[in-house]
Amino acid sequence: MTWVEKITNKHYLAFYLFAIAFLLYLFNSWGFSIYILDEAKNASCAREMLDAHNWLVPTFNYDLRTDKPPLHYFFMMLSYSIFGVNAFAARFFSAVFGALTILVTFLYTRRFSNVQTAFWTAVILLASIHLSIQFHLAVPDPYLIFFITWSLFAFFAAISGSSKTDWLWMYISISLATLAKGPVAILLPGLIFLLYLVFSKNLKWLVIKKAKPFVGVVIVLVIVLPWYIFNGLATNWEWTQEFFFEHNLNRFSDEMEGHGGIFLITFLYVLLGLVPFAFLLPQALFFAFKRRANSLVLFSIIAGLIIVGFFSVSQTKLPNYTVPSYPFLAFIIASFIHEKLNSFKQIKVAFFVLLIIGTLLPIVAFIALGYDPSLMSIKWLGLYLFIFPVVLIFAYFQRKRLQKFLLVIGLAGVISTLVFIGIIYPPIDQQNPVSKSLDLLQNRDVVFYQKFNSSYAFNLQKKIERIDSTDFKTFFSQHPDGRIISTSRWMDEVDLPPDYKVIFSEKDLFERPTTVIVAKETK
The pLDDT of residue 373 is 85
Give the containing element (helix H, strand E) for 507. strand 500-507
SS3 call for 320: helix
What is the structure's pLDDT at 260?
45
How high is the pLDDT of residue 5?
Answer: 63
Give the model's pLDDT for residue 176: 98
pLDDT tens track for 165-198: 999 999 999 999 999 999 999 999 999 999 999 9
Residue 413 predicted with pLDDT over 60? yes
pLDDT over 90 (residue 320): no
Specify the domain boundaries for CATH 3.40.190 within the chain: 433-520
Q: What is the pLDDT of residue 209?
A: 86
Of the pLDDT bands very low, low, confident and very high (cuts 50, 70, 90), residue 359 is: very high
**Does the pLDDT value for residue 301 go beyond 70?**
yes
Reply yes or no on whether the pLDDT at 282 is more than 80: yes
The predicted pLDDT at position 251 comes to 56
Instruction: Compute the average pLDDT of residues 28-42.
Output: 96
Euclidean distance between CA atoms 391 and 389, whole angstroms: 5
pLDDT confidence of 163, banded at 50, 70, 90? confident
State residue 316's pLDDT score.
66
Whether residue 250 is predicted with pLDDT greater than 70 in this model: the reply is no
Which conformational region is residue 182 in: left (phi greater than 0), alpha (psi within -120 to 50 degrees), or beta? left
Q: What is the pLDDT of residues 85-114, one digit of tens each?
A: 999 999 999 999 999 999 999 999 999 999
How far is Cα 20 from Cα 410, in angstroms, rounded to an integer? 13
Q: Which of 144-153, 253-262, 309-318 has the lowest mean pLDDT?
A: 253-262
Residue 35's pLDDT band, with cuts at 50, 70 and 90, is very high
| 40 within 8 A of 139, measured Cβ to Cβ | no
Whether the pLDDT of residue 258 is over 50: the answer is: no
Contact of 473 with 497, CB cutoff 8 Å = yes
Give the confidence band of 511 by pLDDT, cuts at 50, 70, 90: confident
The per-residue pLDDT for range 199-232, each reduced to its tens digit, is: 999 888 888 888 889 999 999 999 999 999 999 9
- On the question of pLDDT at 364 being above 50, the answer is yes
Mean pLDDT of 318-343: 94
Fold of 433-520: D-Maltodextrin-Binding Protein; domain 2 (3.40.190)
Q: pLDDT (tens digit, 9 = 90+) per residue, 445-500?
A: 999 999 999 999 999 999 999 999 889 999 999 999 999 999 999 998 888 888 88
Least confident of 151-165, 260-274, 409-423: 260-274
Where would I find the H helices in 235-386? 238-241, 250-253, 265-273, 281-290, 295-313, 326-339, 348-371
- 153 vs 118: CA distance, rounded Å: 13
Average pLDDT over residues 362-371: 93
Mean per-residue pLDDT over the chain, rounded: 92
Between CA 192 and CA 184 the distance in angstroms is 12
